[in-house]
């Protein structure tokens, strides 16, 4: 059961449990997606029905920061802990590298995803990067086709919120990936 914080239902998981659940979704058939809303996104969801549907429709809804965790505590339904997207991504990549699953990096300004890929290969030498693409494309279909052609198991979608959530919901299945993760500015972080 999810914990409601002002209209967004959050999964009540520790980081370890969240990563385990992510790996389980990858192992399952079909396409799944993860969102990591912060209070600003919760606010957006109150005003934007499409964003609300995309966020609450995710297979994993993780509290990105202390703001959501505090909100849940004040509402009398505490969450176990914060599970920030960038940390979730780091733990997940460890597992992807160990299990030979491939990752596509989508988003951020031109050159950033490639730079992030290089840095990530240093941190996780066994990580298979299936491809990269910047987040400032005009047409969606060629990008979807590129991801599908790469055969990636997982896609990090870093287009900012709520764009990335809407994108994952609409195009996720056509990418052929098992799991898409909406991770905001994470590629900028990984690029260093």
List of residues contacting ligand UDP (CB under 6 A): 107-109, 135-136, 158-161, 163, 184-185, 187-188
Task: Please report how close the Cβ of residue 140 comes to ligand UDP at its closest, in angstroms.
Answer: 12
b/e map 118-156, b = 16+ CB within 10 Å = eebeeebeebebbbbbbbeeeeeeebbebbeebebbbbb
* Prior bond of 162 cis (ω within 30°): yes
Decide whether 26 or 105 has the Cβ nearer to ligand UDP. Answer: 105
| Closest residue to ligand UDP, based on beta-carbon distance | 135
Decide whether 71 or 107 has the Cβ nearer to ligand UDP. Answer: 107
Decide whether 15 or 189 has the Cβ nearer to ligand UDP. Answer: 189
Decide whether 39 or 184 has the Cβ nearer to ligand UDP. Answer: 184
Task: Please report how close the Cβ of residue 135 comes to ligand UDP at its closest, in angstroms.
Answer: 2
Task: Please report how close the Cβ of residue 14 comes to ligand UDP at its closest, in angstroms.
Answer: 23
Task: Please report how close the Cβ of residue 159 comes to ligand UDP at its closest, in angstroms.
Answer: 4
Sheet holding 32-35, edge to edge: 60-61, 32-35, 179-182, 154-158, 102-107, 128-133
Torsion (CA) 100, 35, 139, 145 in degrees, nearest 10 = 30
Radius of gyration of the chain (CA): 16
């Amino acid at each position: 059961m999810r914990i409601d914080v002002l209209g967004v239902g959050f999964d009540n998981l520790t980081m370890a449990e969240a990563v385990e659940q992510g790996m389980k979704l990858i192992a399952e058939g079909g396409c799944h997606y993860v969102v990591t809303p912060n209070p600003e996104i919760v606010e957006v969801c109150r005003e934007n029905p499409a964003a609300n549907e995309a966020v609450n429709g995710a297979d994993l809804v993780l509290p990105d920061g202390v703001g959501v965790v505090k909100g849940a505590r004040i509402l009398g339904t505490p969450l176990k802990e914060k599970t920030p997207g960038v940390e979730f991504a780091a733990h997940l990549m460890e597992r992807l590298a160990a299990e030979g699953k491939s990752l596509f990096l989508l988003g951020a300004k031109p050159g950033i995803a490639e730079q992030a890929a290089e840095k990530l290969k240093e941190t996780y030498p066994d990580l298979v990067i299936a491809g990269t693409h910047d987040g400032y494309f005009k047409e969606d279909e060629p990008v979807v086709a590129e991801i599908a052609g790469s055969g990636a198991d997982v896609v990090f979608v870093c287009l900012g919120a709520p764009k990335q959530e809407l994108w994952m919901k609409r195009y996720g299945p056509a990418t052929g990936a098992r799991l898409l993760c909406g991770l905001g500015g994470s590629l900028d972080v990984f690029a260093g």
